[in-house]
């Protein structure tokens, strides 16, 4: 595997240090080049400031000419510099390798083989062999092509998996809906029968004030009063369970529609609630969900894809909260005592929470002014957890393809990139990460 990637910079390459004052004799340069065959050139300074660069091949080419040795070796190197065309290409060490290679090949033909001058600090320069630069750029290009092919294959597999999952969920939801509807449809009749039987028993009791000992014994054995009272509670529980199953089936059917060809109007709150219902088994592990819903109009979208967006974001939030809770529970008593009193109390009272806020917001259109009152209205959905936050060095990478902090086999690194693609490309929205505070394992916060 190549150690380089698309974000590699010049500091990742071999940089040669050979810089002299322009008053240095050519003989000194000659001796250094003889002893260090890998040096691509020499940097010329005048009182510490860069004034030029002479490449190795140009130095030997000048010496090989008639009277070259007599002309250049016994004189200051600046004399040879005066015979060297063009100015060197100077780049900062933070320049991307791909960008540096592009600038290197854009130079005039006579300068294409000259090394690149890399500034590593104030008035501090190094030399980079242009051939190493181009070879590395080619390696990065090849690696990028392989990653692109891998991404394409993985996305195709992911899409096929989602399609298969959608078909499975749709079929399963259909199979569940039929018996659930059968139960729900018969509950009304069953409740009516209960009422009729209860009235009949009460009528028998009124007309038979002195039942036989056998009937009294049977009544006590079955605890008739309790059965009459609890019958209604049992039917109510069955009705609630049936309604929950029907909601779950509807959520599964909505989530399974991943390949809609047209947008439809939906209640976004129902989409969120459906996702929460599917994730209810994980939320029951102790995670409190706080809902702050605004009065929203229906919005046009692809329901299945929006369900996937909520599923990915909420699943990541649940994973983060459960992982953080596990870390806190595994902390030793010594570590707890070592924390400050304020932090220790905060850790002990911490409970995992997810807050979901929806609202309609407005922003002034770029083509108008606030006084004109022409504003764009957009739906704002904020999903926030009270976990430790995301470390700053990871925040800029969470939407990168294949990037994941989860163990092998538990994360593909495509959930959030696909989520961003659905929000931005499919619905013209924006997916924004805000993690203002990161709490480290020692209880310290980093903004």
**What is the CA 400 to chain-centroid distance, rounded?**
7
Dist. CA 277–CA 285, nearest whole Å: 14
- Is there a contact between 385 and 317 (Cβ–Cβ < 8 Å)? yes
Dist. CA 190–CA 196, nearest whole Å: 10
Say whether 319 sits in a helix, a strand or coil. Answer: helix
- Is there a contact between 53 and 44 (Cβ–Cβ < 8 Å)? yes
Tell me phi and psi for residue 9, to 5 degrees. -115, 175
Dist. CA 126–CA 16, nearest whole Å: 5
Could you tell me which residues are beta bridge partners of residue 45?
A: 21, 50
pTM comes to 0.46
Sequence-ordered alpha helix ranges (H) in 126-223: 130-207, 213-222
Q: What angle do CA 431, 300, 368 make, to 5 degrees?
A: 65
- For residue 261, what are the CA distances in angstroms to 14, 64, 229? 53, 72, 52
Dist. CA 234–CA 368, nearest whole Å: 62
Residue 400, both tokens: 């990168």
Dist. CA 84–CA 142, nearest whole Å: 35
Residue 381: predicted pLDDT: 92
- Is there a contact between 290 and 199 (Cβ–Cβ < 8 Å)? no
Sequence-ordered alpha helix ranges (H) in 66-129: 68-72, 77-82, 97-105
DSSP 151: H
Dist. CA 85–CA 20, nearest whole Å: 19
**What is the CA 387 to chain-centroid distance, rounded?**
16
Pairing assessment for the beta strands 116-121 and 124-128 based on DSSP bridges: antiparallel
Residue 136: predicted pLDDT: 86
Rama region for 45: left / alpha / beta (φ>0; ψ in -120 to 50; rest): beta
Dist. CA 132–CA 100, nearest whole Å: 12
Residue 382: predicted pLDDT: 92
Strands (E) located in 219-281: 264-266
**What is the CA 207 to chain-centroid distance, rounded?**
74
- For residue 415, what are the CA distances in angstroms to 64, 267, 404, 419? 62, 24, 9, 6
Q: What is the mean pLDDT of each run of 10 residues along the chain (447 residues)?
A: 75 91 87 90 88 86 77 80 74 90 86 90 90 85 71 62 60 73 83 88 84 85 84 85 76 59 83 84 87 90 83 88 83 50 56 92 52 62 88 74 60 69 84 66 37
Residue 358, both tokens: 């929806």
Residue 276: predicted pLDDT: 86
DSSP 21-45: ETTSBHHHHHHHHHH-TT--EEEEE
Residue 119: predicted pLDDT: 92
Side-chain-facing half-sphere of 344: CA atoms under 13 Å: 11
Residue 447: predicted pLDDT: 33
Residue 289, both tokens: 């969900």
Residue 128: predicted pLDDT: 92
Nearest to 430 by CA among 375, 374, 363: 363
Residue 337: predicted pLDDT: 45
- Is there a contact between 267 and 300 (Cβ–Cβ < 8 Å)? no
Tell me phi and psi for residue 425, to 5 degrees. -85, -40
Task: Centre a 10 Å sphere on the Cβ of residue 388 and count the other Cβ atoms it contains.
Answer: 21
């Amino acid at each position: 595997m190549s150690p380089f990637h698309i974000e590699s910079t010049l500091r990742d390459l071999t940089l040669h240090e050979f810089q002299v004052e322009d008053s240095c004799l050519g003989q000194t340069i000659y001796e250094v080049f003889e002893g260090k065959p890998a040096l691509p050139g020499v940097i010329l300074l005048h009182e510490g400031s860069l004034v030029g660069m002479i490449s190795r091949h140009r130095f030997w080419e000048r010496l090989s000419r008639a009277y070259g040795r007599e002309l250049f070796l016994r004189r200051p190197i600046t004399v040879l510099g005066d015979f060297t065309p063009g100015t060197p290409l100077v780049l900062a060490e933070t320049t991307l390798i791909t960008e540096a290679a592009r600038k290197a090949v854009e130079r005039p033909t006579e300068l294409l083989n000259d090394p690149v001058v890399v500034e590593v600090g104030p008035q501090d320069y190094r030399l980079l062999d242009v051939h190493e630069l181009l070879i590395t750029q080619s390696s990065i290009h090849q690696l990028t092509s392989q990653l692109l092919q891998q991404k394409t294959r993985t996305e195709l597999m992911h899409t096929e998996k989602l399609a298969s999952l959608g078909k499975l969920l749709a079929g399963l939801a259909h199979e569940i809906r039929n018996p659930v509807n059968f139960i729900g449809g018969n509950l009304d009749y069953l409740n009516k029968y209960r009422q009729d039987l209860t009235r009949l028993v009460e009528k028998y009791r009124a007309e038979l004030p002195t039942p036989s000992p056998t009937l009294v014994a049977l009544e006590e054995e079955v605890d008739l009063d309790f059965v009459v009272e609890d019958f209604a509670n049992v039917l109510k529980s069955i009705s609630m369970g049936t309604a929950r199953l029907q909601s779950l089936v509807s959520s599964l059917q909505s989530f399974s529609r991943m390949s809609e060809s047209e947008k439809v109007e939906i209640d976004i709150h129902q989409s969120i609630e459906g996702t929460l219902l599917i994730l209810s088994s994980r939320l029951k592990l102790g995670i409190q969900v706080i809902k702050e819903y605004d009065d929203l109009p229906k919005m046009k979208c692809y329901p299945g894809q929006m369900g996937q967006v909520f599923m990915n974001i909420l699943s990541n939030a649940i994973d983060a909260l459960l992982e953080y809770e596990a870390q806190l529970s595994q902390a030793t008593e010594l570590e707890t005592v070592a924390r400050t009193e304020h932090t220790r109390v905060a850790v002990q009272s911490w409970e995992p929470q997810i807050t979901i806020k929806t609202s309609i917001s407005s922003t002034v259109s770029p083509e108008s002014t606030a006084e004109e009152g022409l504003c764009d209205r957009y739906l704002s959905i904020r999903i926030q957890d009270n976990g430790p936050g995301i470390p700053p060095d990871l925040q800029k990478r969470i939407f990168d393809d294949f990037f994941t902090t989860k163990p092998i086999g538990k994360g593909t690194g495509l959930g959030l990139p696909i989520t961003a693609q659905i929000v931005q490309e499919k619905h013209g929205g924006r997916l924004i990460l805000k993690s203002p505070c990161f709490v480290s394992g020692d209880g310290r916060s980093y903004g």
